[in-house]
Amino acid sequence: MLSFIVALVLAAAVFFFAVGTLGILRFPDFYTRLHAAGKCDTLASMLALFAVALFTLQDWTFAELLVSLKILAIAGFVFIASPTACHAITRAALVLGVEPWERREGKK
Amino acid sequence: MARLITFVILFLFWIMLSGMFDAFHLSLGVLSCALVAWLSSDLLFAGGKLPSSPRSLIGLALYLPWLFWQIVVANVQVAAIVLHPRMLERINPQIIRFRTRLKTPFARVTFGQSITLTPGTITVNVDGDEFTVYALTDDSAGSLPGEMERRVAAALEGEKV
């Protein structure tokens, strides 16, 4: 039962990683690519870490709980660091004057 | 007081990371946590001042599950856009500006990070109460500040929704 849930969460993580990667390839400019890179990866890595933390808790011993907590601490760090980095890169690009892609009517 | 709380938090973190409970490792932990708490307690609590009430922590704990659910929903939306065959017709990147009614720096930071975490929007700049946000689609631009700001205000500043 536990490994079934873990596999499900891992599959979701792989899906969002794949979408993030595809997004980097398909989006038209720097900023939109950053969306794909910064967001999907945050969710995907948190899902993956959560799955690993869950998988560690096979017997509910104290040692396993500590390992799980460490893994969850990594997830917490990603949760704070990822949007901060994303914001910093976006702002740096705007300050440097990287032109955002805009949709123009009648032109694709 | 701020130093003591910093020490307790650091020491819990030490125990979690070390997992050893003999006298040698625990005393090493006490020493190093005390040193760090003494040197840099003003990093965790700005200016050495404690938050006026523990309510903001409870509010944050209640806000996080909702935020996580929003992240999942928004990720699915972005996934739909990424996988859409005519993706360029679905997106309309734009920069929007709005003023927030959040007052405390902590609430503003939380709000900005939440905006960046939910796909489709990135906080570009926060200047006083003016937020500059880069939005991916018309929908994500139209959704701000909206419910998220209300939730942050309710959770961290105790405003009635």
pLDDT tens, position by position, B9-21: 888 888 888 877 8
- Tokens 């939910």 appear where? B118
B6 in Cβ contact with B34 (< 8 Å): no
Between B119 and B100, where is the model more confident?
B100
Per-residue confidence band for B31, with pLDDT thresholds at 50, 70 and 90: very high
Residues of B in contact with A66 (CB under 8 A): 16, 19
Q: Which amino acid does the sequence have at A89?
A: I
Interface size, chain A vs chain B, as Cβ–Cβ contacts under 8 Å:
96
Q: Which amino acid does the sequence have at B150?
A: R
Does residue A1 have a pLDDT over 50?
A: yes
B98 in Cβ contact with B66 (< 8 Å): no
Residues of A in contact with B117 (CB under 8 A): 39, 42, 79, 82-83
Mark yes or no for CB contact A19/B78 under 8 Å: yes
Work out the number of other CB atoms within 10 angstroms of the CB of residue B12. 12
Residues of B in contact with A22 (CB under 8 A): 82-83
Mark yes or no for CB contact A43/B71 under 8 Å: yes
Q: Could you write out the DSSP letters of every residue in B8-68?
A: HHHHHHHHHHH---SHHHHHHHHHHHHHHHHHHHHHHTGGGPPPS-THHHHHHHHHHHHHH
Mark yes or no for CB contact A100/B93 under 8 Å: yes
Could you tell me the pTM of the whole model? 0.76
Supply the pLDDT for residue A81: 86
Task: Among A35, A72, A103, pick the best mutation site for testing chain B contact (most B Cβ within 10 A).
Answer: A35
Hey, what are A1's tokens? 């039962």
Using CB atoms, which residue from A16, A36, A69 is nearest to B16? A69
Interface contact A66, partner B, CB < 8 A: yes
Per-residue confidence band for B161, with pLDDT thresholds at 50, 70 and 90: very low
Hey, what are B26's tokens? 């625990």
Mark yes or no for CB contact A38/B123 under 8 Å: no
The Cα angle at residue B99 between residues B94 and B100, in degrees rounded to 5: 115
Interface contact B95, partner A, CB < 8 A: yes
Residues A35-55 as b or e (16 or more Cβ within 10 Å = b): bbbbbbbbbbbbbbbbbbbbb
Using CB atoms, which residue from A15, A66, A100 is nearest to B19? A66
Of the candidates B94, B84, B107, the residue with the CA atom closest to the CA atom of residue B139: B94
Q: A35: which residues sit within 8 A by CB, 6+ positions away?
A: A23, A27, B78, B119, B120, B122, B136
Query: Would you give the distance in Å from CA B143 to the centre of its chain?
Result: 19
Interface contact B112, partner A, CB < 8 A: yes
Which helix (H) or strand (E) segment holds residue B155: the answer is: helix B146-157
> What's the half-sphere exposure (Cβ side, CA atoms, 13 Å) at B54?
2
Hey, what are B68's tokens? 């996580």
The tens digit of pLDDT for each residue in A14-71 reads 998 888 888 888 888 887 888 777 778 888 888 999 999 988 888 878 888 888 888 9
Query: Would you give the distance in Å from CA A49 to the centre of its chain?
Result: 11
3-class DSSP assignment, residue B91: coil
Interface contact A21, partner B, CB < 8 A: no
